[in-house]
């Protein structure tokens, strides 16, 4: 089987401008990107860098003006093919309130599979499994508006899982959450990637969320400007900063001290500094 799940080839995309307005500048310019099956890809960039647009092109909500986006080899140029693509790639958005449809948690999770025309017993099974996978099973009969932000996002993730998509694209899922909610969502996403082999594309501007990714892509004014493993990307501290981003504090500290290599975690940082400490400079 082909190991590429999503493929961008020279994709340029411009949002429609309103009547009487000057044409907009392209949100994506000549983007070429391959996402491997089972990969955890983090897409970084400041606000307006094009990273959200990249996410929205992954499941045929928008079609590029030039270039092509393929999902499992499919191009979403007709309604039917777009529908097929959405069965492969699911989306989770930033605002947890604006993607929950039903007034009861389990009914919301069932919404996707119901649209797909899945058999009722099978929906029930998928909904229960999905809610267990995000640790929200005990909340299945609750009303979504009474949940915390982190819990709502996990319900949204369960809604995608119940559709049994191969890939899940999360567009700044933690931007509106408190630290606890962020932690809940991130550990859930990592578990799904590791245990269920689901391909994850995480769009974010929190550097610490990108540290554990398999690969990091940095975007700026609609272009991919950096890519590589987190260590490869974050080792270029000044370049990352130039794109309006940050690096983890551990990385920043070791970089400022002129230590070679790239340190990403607190543990590494402590070990490396301890090994080098003590007057014997040189």
Partner 1 sequence: MSYAIEAIGLTHYYAKGTQQQVAAVDHVDLAVERGELVGMIGHTGSGKSTLISHFNGLLKPSEGKVLVDGVDIWRDKETLRQSRFKVGLCFQYPEYQLFEETVYKDIAFGPGNMKLPKEEIDARVRRAAEFVGLTPALLEKSPFDLSGGEKRRAAIAGVMSMEPEVLIFDEPAAGLDPRGRKDLMALIRSYRAETGSTVIIVSHSMEDIASLADRVVVMNQAKIAMQGTVDEVYSQGDALRAMGLNVPDITEIFARLHAQGLPVPTNIYTVADGVRALQALGGRWRA
Partner 2 sequence: MIGDITIGQYYAGASVLHRMDPRAKLAATFWLIVVIFLCKSFFALGLITLTAIVAVLLSRVPLKMIFRSLRPIVIILIFTAVLNVFYNKGGATYWEWWKITVTEKGVNTALFTMVRIIVLVVISSLLTYTTTPTMLTDGLERLLSPLKVFKIKVHTLAMMMTLALRFIPTLIEEIERIMNAQKARGADLETGGLLQRAKALVPIFIPLMVSAFRRAYELAFAMTCRCYTGGEGRTRMKQMKLAARDVLLLIFCAGITAGVLVLNHFFTAVI
Please tell me whether residue 77 binds partner 2 under the rule CB under 8 A: no
Residue 164 vs 272, nearer CB to partner 2: 164
Residues at the contact surface with partner 1, assessed by CB under 8 A: 46-48, 148-149, 175-176, 178-181, 205, 207, 244-246, 248-250, 252-253, 256-259, 266, 269-270, 273-274, 276-282
Query: Per CB under 8 A, which of residues 144..163 are in contact with partner 2?
Result: 144-146, 159-160, 163
* 243, 45 contact by CB (below 8 A): yes
3-state secondary structure of 243: coil
The only residue of 4, 48, 114, 237 in contact with partner 2, by rule CB under 8 A: 114
Q: Tell me how far apart the alpha carbons of residues 232 and 120 are, in angstroms, rounded to a whole number.
A: 48
Q: How far is the CB of 128 from partner 1 (least distance, A)?
A: 28
3-state secondary structure of 42: strand
3-state secondary structure of 200: strand
Tally of CB atoms within 10 A around 107: 16
Q: Tell me how far apart the alpha carbons of residues 190 and 268 are, in angstroms, rounded to a whole number.
A: 21
* 82, 60 contact by CB (below 8 A): yes
* 111, 159 contact by CB (below 8 A): yes
Q: Binding partner of residue 222 among partner 1, partner 2, none, CB under 5 to 8 Å per kind?
A: none
The only residue of 113, 149, 173, 230 in contact with partner 2, by rule CB under 8 A: 113
Binding site for partner 2 (CB under 8 A): 59, 61, 83, 86-87, 90-91, 93, 95, 97-104, 106-107, 110-120, 123-124, 127, 141, 143-146, 159-160, 163
């Amino acid at each position: 089987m082909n190991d590429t799940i999503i493929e961008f080839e020279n994709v340029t995309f411009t949002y429609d401008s309103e009547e009487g307005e000057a044409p907009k500048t392209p949100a994506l310019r000549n983007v070429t990107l391959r996402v491997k099956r089972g990969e955890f890809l983090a897409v970084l960039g400041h606000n307006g860098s094009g990273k959200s647009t990249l996410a929205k092109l992954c499941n045929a909500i928008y079609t590029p003006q030039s270039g092509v986006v393929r999902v499992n080899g499919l191009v979403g140029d007709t309604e039917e093919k777009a529908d097929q693509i959405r069965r492969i790639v699911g989306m989770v958005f930033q605002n947890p309130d604006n993607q929950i449809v039903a007034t009861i948690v389990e009914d919301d999770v069932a919404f996707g599979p119901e649209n797909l025309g899945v058999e009722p017993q099978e929906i029930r099974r998928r909904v229960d499994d999905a809610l267990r996978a995000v640790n929200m099973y005990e909340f299945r009969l609750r009303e979504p508006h009474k949940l915390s932000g982190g819990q709502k996002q996990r319900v949204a993730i369960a809604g995608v899982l119940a559709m049994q998509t191969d890939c899940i694209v999360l567009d700044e899922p933690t931007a509106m959450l408190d630290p606890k909610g962020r932690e809940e969502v991130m550990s859930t996403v990592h578990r799904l990637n590791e245990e269920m082999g689901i391909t994850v594309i995480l769009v974010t501007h929190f550097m610490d969320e990108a540290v554990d990714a398999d690969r990091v892509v940095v975007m700026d004014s609609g272009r991919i400007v950096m890519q590589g493993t987190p260590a490869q990307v974050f080792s270029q501290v000044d370049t990352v900063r130039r794109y309006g981003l940050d690096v983890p504090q551990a990385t920043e500290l070791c970089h400022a001290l002129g230590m070679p290599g790239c340190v990403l975690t607190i543990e590494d940082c402590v070990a490396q500094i301890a090994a080098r400490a003590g007057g014997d400079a040189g």
